[in-house]
Amino acid sequence: FELKRQLYFAAHGFVVTPLATGIRVGGAVEFAGLKAPPNYARSKAMLEKAKRFMPGLKTEGGREWMGYRPSLPDSLPVIGRSSASPDIFHAFGHGHLGLTQSAATGRLIRDLVLGKSAAIDLAPYGAKRFM
């Protein structure tokens, strides 16, 4: 099955992404902690849906996989200068919004690196809120 572009099946809760080695069917989110074993029930359901939409999809040799997202307890990213060194800047923990927030975070970090004031108050995004 050759796929040239990413396919979104938003109403059905999954995305199909082309990779160099094949395709990836994904889209589930599970908040279970770092020590909990993966629950692949949703991935199996997504794969069955994908097979219905793409009848030529071959699943032999595929594997289930789960990765962690850098989500923080208050759902806000950490953005700002590190208290450990003036040469270290934090820009992490965007969770599921990393792609959509990356440009704005990049502009904020750029301004800090250049010694300019950030366009917004970064206090709510500081790492110190967890200390």
27-73 pLDDT, tens per residue? 878 888 888 898 899 999 999 999 999 998 988 889 998 888 768 88
Q: How far apart are CA 25 and CA 3, in angstroms?
A: 12
DSSP string, 47-91: HHHHHHH-TT---TT-----------TTSPPEEEE-SS-TT-EEE
Six token digits for residue 88: 């270290």
Percentage of the residues of the chain whose pLDDT score is greater than 70: 98
Q: Is 62 helix (H, G, I), strand (E, B) or coil?
A: coil
DSSP 120: S
Q: Is pLDDT of 122 > 90?
A: yes
pTM: 0.64
